[in-house]
Structure 1
């Protein structure tokens, strides 16, 4: 079961995230629990694999907003870096950043499943 303590250990700024949810812990945990299934992870991965930097930027930017609003700092930092590189259409191998983001998503999913 997902808890504030587990999210703190994950590196989330739960005080900030809870503040955005007006202190409603149940709402915050429910929203965080939806993140592993967020469709933009798959859109980002697919766009990067096909070389669609515009599509990758849109997916990364959407993820950055969601992750930032929930203060999921470890994921937000990686996604933010990707977003800024994609914003200027940097041609590079995004695999290491994508893998880091997906690994963190898997870690979050495990916290939600426990």
Structure 2
């Protein structure tokens, strides 16, 4: 058994667990699957593969969030322009003198979202 100070330094968060063993850096008693007090090669492999899987999931989640964000901007832009275009079409039939102002409104929406268009 290791001295108390050494055990405390190598256990997770410095907790004093009397049943803990000395594990290599990055490993805890939870990683010791067969509870023999040693980290075997299969346990190392399992830890690495589990960590790689967690990283892949984090990356996929981030990519999905970014895609949703960009996709939402695109949908919002198209809805704004389509709404203004429809409005201009309907109102210019009734009042042809308003056509120029309505067209300027459409141009203004496109100008406001020029950063999206440049992407």
Question: Same fold by TM (over 0.5)?
Answer: no
More helix by share: 1
Q: Which has the larger radius of gyration?
A: 2
What TM-score do you get using the length of structure 1 for normalisation?
0.34
What TM-score do you get using the length of structure 2 for normalisation?
0.33
